[in-house]
Structure 1
């Protein structure tokens, strides 16, 4: 899911549970105008990092521990990732309401 800085959904893709999140990121990035891309360690792939660099978007993704060269990222910007977590929390809450008969 893509959200703006105010937590408003700007796009998303629904997949099965066995699909890797990072494989859907290029599709979400189409026509994306952003200064920074905040994501968790699941999105730490060379392909995605290269795409962000080409698009001149700052990658705010913590590196996985298995990376030989740990790259720096903005811890301050990463703290703002709670915005998307709040969107998922709201979706789960509404799902619970919608599925009650």
Structure 2
């Protein structure tokens, strides 16, 4: 029997993982798939307007942290206030928000020695993101990723977002 590694069988490298190509493309990371506490999946980061309508969507593998995506989410958007949860609490994120002339309403992580003050009344507006996700997850393809490729999945997330915009 021939060695499957010689014929480019991706399962031959062990564990059913796809190997990256010579140029660095390919593999699960390119398709925004990764392991997190909840299992194997994708994380969708969203920026919503003051009306709770989506303005920007970003896909990352499930194990990706929230704070590195913050700058990409707000880049090019005209904002006065950026409301985010504790996952986006980092000095770099707050500085990026304030450099754009906006106010950061992000509670500090519990383990910070110096707790940064934030507007608790303004923080209640984070509920707009939660309400957006409640509407988006009514679409089964968004709630449970059936698409193999990241671009197909993100395309349907965009379709669901457009349906929410049209309501």
Q: TM-score, normalised by structure 1?
A: 0.90
Would you tell me which structure has more strand in proportion to its own residues? 2
Match of 2:90 in 1: 45
Match status 1:56 vs 2:101: yes
CA distance in 1, matches of 2:87, 2:94: 12
Aligned residues of 2:136 and 2:142 also touching (Cα < 8 A):
no
SS of 1:82 mapped into structure 2:
helix
- Change in 2 beyond 3 A, CA 1:71/1:97: closer
Q: Unmatched 5+ residue regions in structure 2?
A: 1-45, 145-167
Q: Give a deviation string over 1:40-98, Cα, whole Å, max 9, x none.
A: 00100010011111111110100011111111100000011111101111111112699
Structure number with greater Rg is 2
Aligned positions, number? 99
Q: Give the counterpart of 1:16 among 56, 61, 68.
A: 61
Q: Where does 1:1-101 land on structure 2 (aligned, <5 Å)? A: 1-95=46-140
SS of 1:51 mapped into structure 2:
helix
* Structure of greater relative contact order (alpha carbons < 8 Å, 6+ residues apart): 1
